[in-house]
Every structure is written in C-alpha cells, then in structure tokens.
Amino acid sequence: METAVQKARELGSYSLDSLIGAGGMGEVWRARRRMLARDAAIKLIRADLMIGQSGHQPEVTRKRFEREAQAIASLQSPHTI
C-alpha cells in the first residue's frame, strides 16, 4: 500500500509533498523537483472538468488553464514561485 501511495505522488520529474490548497479549477501541491532538488508549486486541474463535459467545454477549460500557467510563468518577482 505504501508503494502505491508513493507512486501516486510522483508526477513526471516532480514528487508531490503536500496539498497547499484547492479551489474551483484544481489543487495546488507543494512539490520537489527530484533532479534539481528544487521546491515548486504544482497546480493540477480537476479531472471532472475535463471528463464528462460535452461539446467544446474541455478545450475551453484546458486553454484557460494554459493561459493561467503562461501568465504565472512570465512573472519576474523573486516573491513568486
């Protein structure tokens, strides 16, 4: 069981440590980039926003998520992750 929990907390080159918060679009996790040993914040979109929606809504949700990620990535302040 412990191995299954550990595997579920691995996301690509990141290891999810603890849940920071959750909201309407998803969850934000404190994570650690394994190779670089750097802390990070990882936002995961809620699966129910992508699965089971009809028409073009999943695409609209994905594009909104991408715009948010791009806006955050463009921040230059040392006080942001």
Report the 10 Å Cβ neighbour count for 7: 8
Helix, strand, or coil here: 51?
Answer: coil
8-48 pLDDT per residue, tens: 567 778 889 999 999 888 899 999 887 887 888 888 888 87
Classify domain 2-73 at the CATH topology level.
Phosphorylase Kinase; domain 1 (3.30.200)
With 0-12 CB in 10 A as exposed, 13-18 as middle and 19+ as buried, what is 65?
Answer: middle
Spatial separation of the C-alpha atoms in residues 50 and 32, rounded to whole Å: 26
User: If pLDDT is split at 50, 70 and 90, which confidence band does 70 have?
Assistant: very high
* pLDDT, position 5: 53
pTM score: 0.68
Q: What is the mean pLDDT of residues 47-65?
A: 80
- The answer to whether 42 and 33 have CB atoms below 8 angstroms apart is no
